Amino acid sequence: MSNTPEDVGELTVGEMRALEGLRSASDTIVREIGSYEVRKSQLLARLAQYEAQAQGVLQGAAKRLDIPQGETWHVSPEGKVRRGPASPNPS
């Protein structure tokens, strides 16, 4: 047996069409995944903007309430501002 490739036959027209269709479908999926990655990146950027805006709101509240920078404080779900760490939620 030699290492030289040798022809042993050909794919049928149906097999060739099936492979071409599958390659095309695969390419479409790859393009879709790429567009989802772009969308994901855009959404993450918007999320970062929202988080930065939220920090700005909290910094403004801390300044208005004369909470010194570096002091631990938190906001309750009802909007109450309290000095000290947040209490752990009971399970």
Tell me, yes or no, whether 40 lies in a domain.
Answer: yes
What global pTM score does this model have? 0.65
Q: Which structural domain, as residue segments, surrounds residue 43?
A: 13-83
Tell me, yes or no, whether 1 lies in a domain.
Answer: no
Tell me, yes or no, whether 77 lies in a domain.
Answer: yes
Question: What is the predicted pLDDT for the residue at 1?
Answer: 61
Main-chain phi, psi angles of 9, to 5 degrees: 155, -170
Q: What Å distances lie between residue 54 and 28, 49, 50, 65, 72, CA to CA?
A: 39, 9, 6, 16, 17
Tell me, yes or no, whether 89 lies in a domain.
Answer: no
Tell me, yes or no, whether 6 lies in a domain.
Answer: no
Tell me, yes or no, whether 5 lies in a domain.
Answer: no
Counting the structural domains of the chain, the total is: 1
In order along its 91 residues, the chain shows pLDDT tens digits of 678 999 999 999 999 999 999 999 999 999 999 999 999 999 999 999 999 999 999 999 999 999 999 999 999 999 999 999 887 765 5
